[in-house]
Chains A and B, each alone.
Chain A
Amino acid sequence: MIQRRDAVVLVGAAIAMASAITLQAARDRAYPRDQRADEQLLYVSSGAALNRITLAFDAVAADVYWIRAIQHYGGDRLAGPKAAAKYHLLYPLLDITTTLDPYFNIAYRFGAIFLSEAYPGGPGRPDQAVALLRKAIVAMPHKWQYYHDIGFVYYWRLHDYQTAALWFQRAAEKPNAPNWLPPLAASMLARGQDRTAARFLWQQIAKSEEAWLRQSAQRALVQLDALDQIDQLESLVNRFPPPAGERYSWPLLIAKRVLKGIPVDPAGAPYEIDPATGRVQVSQTSPLYPMPEEPRRLQ
């Protein structure tokens, strides 16, 4: 038996729920929430599955995976070149981190540098770096740094200057982009690889507030210095070839008074000279090893 008072209560409840639903619909129209849910529905990956499990605690879970990513990288790095360190989990961990928290800026930039780093400094997978950065662009299309980072990977690791210039150009169009991007893109198209451009790029990165980004940049700059030194050494070596039948060596040149002693690289390790060809390279024991590839110039 429903009395009048009970009926009033029920009607009140119905009105309350109806207004709740109306408010919800209005708010959804005004503030559509992330559509990234769609991509995740279609793209089955452990990141998406985790997203379901972690409910509203995505951010904390992202932190957990970020910590794991760093520790994985650090652990493999410290294991030394002798160990079978492969960094094979770095990309999946960074991928999951950024799936759980698509705004995790530092994870993207970390991935950009270290995923593309050649072995044994990293897995040497510039393709993975680019994939991660593309994800960053989907989440935050207004940040110029990601376009710049993609351009950088194409330039420094893949030696694809056309594509690199394109990405630098795109970066230049984003809000707050630095004004050295357009001339950089132009010179890249014109001259391809040259150390001036590379040095310039790394110097920009060396101004970063992230300590490890600065350290990577400084190391790269030192490597560029070493490349310069190698050029000079090789021209010396070619001017004073060994007598017929003899092999190239440092003592020969020291005997000829061309060098004062065995040349060392900026990190303090002695350069090696190939006895057959006379080519100079950085020693495998040097901290600067492995050196970046020296790609061809366009002219």
Chain B
Amino acid sequence: MRAIRTVAVNVFRESVRDRVPYNLVLFAVMLIASSYLIGQLTAGQDVKIIKDLGLAATSVFGLFIAIFIGIGLVSKEVERRSIYALLSKPVSRAQFIAGKYAGLVLTLCVNVSVMAIALYAILAYMVWATHPASRAVWDAPGLDPALLKAIFLIFIELMLVTAIALFFSTFSSPILSAALTFGFYIAGHFNADLKNFDRVVDSKVAATLARGVYHVLPDLSAFDVKTEVVHGLPVAAAYIATTTAYGLAYVAGLLLIATFIFSRRDFK
């Protein structure tokens, strides 16, 4: 455990030295600028748009971090051969994988938390600046705690994408890993189509195959409750619980397979 924590903290330190936190500045600036501009334009829907933008940006920025750091987590160490000295220390290959993963998740956690705080700050300002009568029209309260549900599921989704990136990183080059991870991300969002294939297609074989692929691919669209939360529609706690458990189980599977692959590698 100590080894995992040590490796994880070093990953976090590397991300800070790689200037990852600057994306937070960009996020904050973007939100503030948008809230000012949008407010002038639409028919009283500015709070909805800010929530949409804030959640979407949290997801996108997090995605970029997850993919671009994730693909290099293992391959960079192997390529610049810093792994030689590291693996001669009392740390197993499994602990190495776990530590690298935990470190990137820690980075993402900090990132998402700061963005959540920034979003709530902007919303607080909007609530303060808006007349109570106009506020009554809003589908959901400005400082809606339900936003945290969406943010939480975004975080779990990012954990899953990170695991996918790390998995590819254990055996393929950064560019290929990036392409494959991004491909899985897109496929994971279209999977709703696969699930309902049997309604559109006649062949039973094709429908079963599609259903099978639906289950194997990561079900990323399930983590997207942004629309519901912004419109004040309910999201059941049980839904969040099972979806989170799904995400964590999938992550565990990916990390174990990655450990298996990585443990058998020769570092030439």
Q: A residues near B, CB below 8 A?
A: 5-6, 9-10, 12-14, 16-17, 19-21, 23-28, 30-31, 33, 37-38, 41-42, 52, 55-60, 62-63, 66-67, 70-71, 101, 103, 105-106, 110, 209-212
Q: Which residue in chain B gives the minimum CB-CB distance to A41?
A: B200
In the assembled complex, the Cα of A66 lies from the Cα of B246 at a distance in Å of: 35
Q: How far is the CB of A113 from chain B (nearest CB, A)?
A: 11
In the assembled complex, the Cα of A60 lies from the Cα of B94 at a distance in Å of: 41
Contact (Cβ within 8 A) B192 A33:
yes
In the assembled complex, the Cα of A66 lies from the Cα of B38 at a distance in Å of: 12
Contact (Cβ within 8 A) B134 A55:
no
| B: interface residue count bin | 35 or more
Contact (Cβ within 8 A) B264 A6:
yes
Contact (Cβ within 8 A) B256 A41:
no
Select one of A27, A41, A59, A110 contacting B226, CB under 8 A.
Answer: A59
A sample of 5 more A-B contacts (CB under 8 A), given A13-B252, A13-B257, A211-B44, is A9-B259, A13-B254, A20-B249, A63-B42, A63-B48
Q: Which residue in chain A gives the minimum CB-CB distance to B233?
A: A103
B242 to chain A: which residues have CB within 8 Å? 23, 26-27, 30
Select one of B43, B222, B260 contacting A13, CB under 8 A.
Answer: B260
Can you report 7 A-B residue pairs in the complex whose CB atoms are below 8 A from each other?
A: A12-B252, A14-B253, A37-B193, A59-B55, A59-B227, A59-B230, A63-B49
A10 to chain B: which residues have CB within 8 Å? 256-257, 260
Across chains A and B, which 3 residue pairs bring their CB atoms closest together, nearest first?
A16-B253, A13-B256, A20-B249
Inter-chain residue pair count (beta carbon < 8 A)? 135
In the assembled complex, the Cα of A45 lies from the Cα of B195 at a distance in Å of: 21
Contacts A13-B256, A210-B44 given; does A101 touch B189 at CB 8 Å:
no
In the assembled complex, the Cα of A159 lies from the Cα of B52 at a distance in Å of: 40
Q: B residues near A, CB below 8 A?
A: 41-45, 48-49, 52-53, 55-56, 59-60, 94, 133-134, 136-137, 139, 186, 189-190, 192-193, 195-196, 199-200, 215-216, 219-222, 224, 226-228, 230-231, 233, 236, 238-239, 242-243, 245-246, 249-250, 252-254, 256-257, 259-260, 263-264
Q: How far is the CB of A199 from chain B (nearest CB, A)?
A: 24
Select one of B190, B224, B245, B256 contacting A52, CB under 8 A.
Answer: B190
Select one of B43, B216, B222, B249 contacting A106, CB under 8 A.
Answer: B43
Contacts A27-B222, A63-B48 given; does A70 touch B256 at CB 8 Å:
no
Q: How far is the CB of B31 from chain A (nearest CB, A)?
A: 13
In the assembled complex, the Cα of A77 lies from the Cα of B43 at a distance in Å of: 15
Q: How far is the CB of B194 from chain A (nearest CB, A)?
A: 11
A42 to chain B: which residues have CB within 8 Å? 200
Contact (Cβ within 8 A) A12 B256:
yes
Contact (Cβ within 8 A) B239 A31:
yes
B60 to chain A: which residues have CB within 8 Å? 57
Select one of A12, A27, A60 contacting B53, CB under 8 A.
Answer: A60
Q: Which residue in chain A gives the minimum CB-CB distance to B197?
A: A41
Q: Which residue in chain A gives the minimum CB-CB distance to B260?
A: A9
Contact (Cβ within 8 A) A66 B45:
yes
Q: How far is the CB of A288 from chain B (nearest CB, A)?
A: 23
Q: Which residue in chain B gives the minimum CB-CB distance to A14?
A: B253
In the assembled complex, the Cα of A25 lies from the Cα of B212 at a distance in Å of: 12
Contact (Cβ within 8 A) B200 A59:
no
Contacts A12-B256, A21-B215, A27-B242 given; does A106 touch B196 at CB 8 Å:
no
B48 to chain A: which residues have CB within 8 Å? 63
In the assembled complex, the Cα of A212 lies from the Cα of B43 at a distance in Å of: 8
Contact (Cβ within 8 A) A23 B253:
no
Q: How far is the CB of A144 from chain B (nearest CB, A)?
A: 16
B216 to chain A: which residues have CB within 8 Å? 21
Select one of A9, A13, A58, A211 contacting B263, CB under 8 A.
Answer: A9
Q: Which residue in chain B gives the minimum CB-CB distance to A213?
A: B43
Q: How far is the CB of A66 from chain B (nearest CB, A)?
A: 7
Q: Which residue in chain B gives the minimum CB-CB distance to A52?
A: B190
In the assembled complex, the Cα of A28 lies from the Cα of B239 at a distance in Å of: 9
